[in-house]
Amino acid sequence: MRVLFIGGTGNISSSCTTNALDRGIELFHLNRGQSSEPRDGVQTLIGDARNVDEVGKMIRDLHFDVVVDFIAFTPEHIQADLALYRDRTDQFIFISSASVYHKPVRHQVITESTPAFNPYWRYSQNKIACEQLLWREYTENGFPMTIVRPSHTYNDGWFPTSFGSGDFTYPDRMLRGKPIVVHGDGQSLWTITHTDDFAKGFNGLLGDPRTIGETFHITSDEQLSWDEIHIAIGRAFGVDPEIVHVPSEVIARFDEEVGAGLIGDKQYSVIFDNSKIKRYVPDFKATITFQEGMRRSAEIVEAHPRMKETISKETNDLVDRLIEAIGAVRP
């Protein structure tokens, strides 16, 4: 099976790449070649994925069983994909987001039939617009699309928090004995999925004609409160974090972008019903607990000390200002 990953070096797509190679898939990457060295076993096409003329010349003699766009965020990105791959693939998979599901949450158990509606977060609104464009192309022109909605995912070396995942800011605060902010009361339930688990379910969809015109989310079945999530991060480093709770609405007043991601997604308790992906990929099961994932991330960081230097001044400043504003400073 010949598969093209648009992107291929990011948080999710790197795990999907490893899993695809293990499955013997003939894999291509299309990216700018700036994020990392080319992977052994992957044929890398260097170029701007949105430059239709440039990419069209590179792939003019190629046909793919599957094309996956990991880095499409706006309808304009999908328009470029349609121009390039309409007659060059048997399946096109759009990586959307579970944040598109109806907000405020109508029911804490989310299925693929839950409506897509998010009036709070522009990121989610753009993903919904992408989905709507693909649905029109499918129903009107038979474009062979599949939609996949990851929820909050992380890879080794990542630490998912209320304020991001890809840097060391929160573990650093914990190690230095500085308080951290958790949105709300810390008791809402959340689902975080290791990308290695996501890849097992995702790559099982590749090339399956039954998935055309279908939507899937792929997540862990483990639910943790946000307090439990942050405590697990601290304990991976042998510390118990000092947690300060701040309402999401207050955080939004200090940082509109961060607030949109909380009010439009993270502040709600959500449990994902994974029955559908398990029907289509019967051997899929998420096996990496969050505690195990944090242990792995801590080991990675200890083995690569320079990762501890990835500190966000903006996040630190925001957290300090929030704590000061609500008067939750230590005596």
The pLDDT, as a whole number, for residue 76 is 98
Mean local confidence (pLDDT), 140-162: 97
Average pLDDT of every residue of the chain: 96
Mean local confidence (pLDDT), 6-34: 95
Q: Which two tokens mark 181? A: 């902010």
pLDDT surpassing 70 at residue 228:
yes
pTM for the whole structure = 0.95
Strand, coil or helix: what is 95? Answer: strand
pLDDT band of residue 15 (cuts 50, 70, 90) is: very high
Q: Which two tokens mark 326? A: 């609500």
Rounded CA gap, 225 and 56, in Å?
A: 47
pLDDT band of residue 331 (cuts 50, 70, 90) is: very low
Residues β-bridged to residue 68: 5, 93
Q: Which two tokens mark 289? A: 């607990």
Residue 310 CB: number of other CB atoms within 10 A? 13
pLDDT band of residue 60 (cuts 50, 70, 90) is: very high
Q: Does domain 2-153+192-218 have CATH number 3.40.50.720?
A: yes
* Residues 109-135: tens digit of each pLDDT: 999 999 999 999 999 999 999 999 999
Nearest CA among 125, 107, 106, 126 for reference residue 117: 125
The pLDDT, as a whole number, for residue 33 is 83
Composition of the chain by helix, strand, coil, percent to 5: 40, 20, 40
pLDDT band of residue 329 (cuts 50, 70, 90) is: low
Nearest CA among 274, 240, 266 for reference residue 109: 274
Rg value, the chain, Cα: 20
* Residues 232-279: tens digit of each pLDDT: 999 999 999 999 999 999 999 999 999 999 999 999 999 999 999 999
